[in-house]
Structure 1
Amino acid sequence: MSENEGDEGIEVPEDSPIIKKLMELDGVGEATALRLYENDYTSYESLSIASAEELSAATGLSVAMCHKIINSAREKLNIQIITADDLEKMVQNRGKITTGSSALDDLLGGGVPVGEVTEFYGEGGSGKTQLAIQLAVNVMLPKEKGGLDGNPFIIDSEKTFNPKRFREVAAAAGLDPDEALKRTRVYVARATDDQMATVEKILMDPDNTIKAWNTKLVVVDSVIGFFRSSKQFQGREHLADRQQKLNRHLHDLTNLADVYNIAVVVTNQIMSRPDVFFGNPNTSAGGNIMMHGPNNRINLRRSKGGLRIAHLVDSSYLPEGEAVFEITPQGIRDPKK
């Protein structure tokens, strides 16, 4: 078979910029580009994070051909081995989103970072959704005010997004509430596969999602709800399947943050560990998959006087610590002294 294997006899959409862009990859002719397009591999980014095996299974192309296409896409994106010094500069220049609380920002090294997955977990009423709404508002702020001049995409799996509350927080942040709502994309997921497919859609079609909407923050509230409640995962015999799907979902979210340099925030529920007799028996739901997935993991809990305590439980680069904040009518703020 020729280098452009399987390229004969398939009609290509006339003057398609996506097809033309795909044809710039090594070994990709018109029909191969169309085959990639039909399987939602429409950008260099979506190809760069695929494995040759999964690309082959989706398109019918040989694994060797898929290796060639993926490597070419990575070269186009200038994905390469770099020095630790260059990596340090890249990390230092990454944007951050203010939480509205200087104490919580300090705990997170300056705010919620782009390029990473940040998890907030806690019991009901601990402030997870309030914090998610605050971040969705704050990402729209200019950079000098702690934002990213971007827009949020919220995947709501628990039907907790409240436009009225969003308006209150947006107005307090100095934004036009009507305009802020128009800039915010919300998808109410209805099942595990629906939630996963939404993230996959964003990941595979960045031109019509991330780039078209100027998305700088993706929120999943909550990441674990459907995985715990779905009938398909009831019973210990389905635990392995659930964890494999959850692992794939977190892998997609990690790629979303890393490849497109956006902030990803997930909220999570808690579960009680019966083997803990001293100290806090609560931990995040999802087992070891959730413990190793997010870059930063913060436990939220209630305190006296309506205050909330954020405990940075795990981070690959930040020290463990705590911060106190409160939820006011205006949003997340430092406690009044």
Structure 2
Amino acid sequence: MKPANTKEDVVPKVSNSSTLEEVEEEQLYAGPLKIEQLLAKGFVKRDLELLKEGGLQTVECVAYAPMRTLCAIKGISEQKAEKLKKACKELCNSGFCNAIDYHDARQNLIKFTTGSKQLDSLLKGGIETGGITELFGEFRTGKSQLCHTLAITCQLPIEQSGGEGKCLWIDTEGTFRPERIVAIAKRYGLHPTDCLNNIAYAKAYNCDHQTELLIDASAMMADARFALLIV
């Protein structure tokens, strides 16, 4: 996934001599490391293609994947899998860190509003990026409505308590309604067409199809800034 998870991630650090073009060429926010970085570690494009075919789109995905998952990819030997994991762990620094550093990172996590001040207060600021938030309740208690609202608020700028990213929606119950998106976008003074364009939608017809969609989603989130995934 490629949403910026901390407030510091979205603040460009530009020297006086930097041009706008130079800044745009660099990533102004932190996110998953693209798997292409493995090329600098001695791996070839074919290795990257095999990993992507296996649903592993980022350095982190490879670093945290079980060995059996890597070895199950056709064309990846056990020896190659070990080298891949070692290289990826070096790139993403997946070892221990000081608790104070982790505390500082937690303090800078981006949270975007639910659209309700009372609910934001209960959640201590809103929906937290980089984590899982589960909504559950009886039929017709507002779960789908809240998801539609979040699909808009995640697009708002950081300074407006937004996530400043796109939304990816995998519909398992057929509850997505673009008309609601249009209405909520107008409520926040946003252009409905732009908001709809920033939502990637797919309907999952069964568990296997949902798994396939999640693999496709990982590729999309590795290439663009998404702040929210709704399933």
Alpha-carbon spacing, 1:150–1:30, altered in 2? closer, same or farther (3 Å): closer
Distance 1:211 1:36 in 2: 13
Q: How does 1:45-56 map to 2 (within 5 A)?
A: 45-56=60-71
Residue 23 (str. 1) matches residue 34 (str. 2): no
Partner of 2:201: 186
AA aligned to 2:117 is S
Distance 2:80 2:180 in 1: 51
Alpha-carbon spacing, 1:93–1:211, altered in 2? closer, same or farther (3 Å): same
Tell me the CA shift for residue 211 of structure 1: 4.4
Alpha-carbon spacing, 1:130–1:42, altered in 2? closer, same or farther (3 Å): closer
Residue 214 (str. 1) matches residue 225 (str. 2): yes
Higher RCO (Cα < 8 Å, 6 or more apart)? 2
SS at match of 2:134: strand
Partner of 1:158: 173
Alpha-carbon spacing, 1:34–1:113, altered in 2? closer, same or farther (3 Å): closer
Give CA-to-partner distance per residue, 1:35-59, whole Å, 9 cap, x none.
Answer: 3344343432331221111100113
AA aligned to 1:74 is K
Give CA-to-partner distance per residue, 1:45-80, whole Å, 9 cap, x none.
Answer: 331221111100113533343122112112112333
Partner of 1:127: 142
Partner of 2:23: none
SS at match of 1:119: coil
Distance 1:202 1:189 in 2: 12
Q: Tell me, which stretches of 5 or more residues in structure 1 are unaligned?
A: 1-17, 221-337
Please tell me the root mean square deviation across aligned C-alpha atoms, in Å: 2.1
Q: Is the 8 A contact 1:25 1:69 kept in 2?
A: no
Distance 2:205 2:193 in 1: 26
What fraction of aligned residue pairs are identical, expressed as a percent?
31
Residue 94 (str. 1) matches residue 109 (str. 2): yes
Distance 1:165 1:61 in 2: 46
Tell me the CA shift for residue 114 of structure 1: 0.7
Give the TM-score taking structure 1 as reference length: 0.55
Tell me the CA shift for residue 89 of structure 1: 0.8
Q: Is the 8 A contact 1:25 1:73 kept in 2?
A: no
Give the TM-score taking structure 2 as reference length: 0.78
The structure number with the bigger radius of gyration is 1
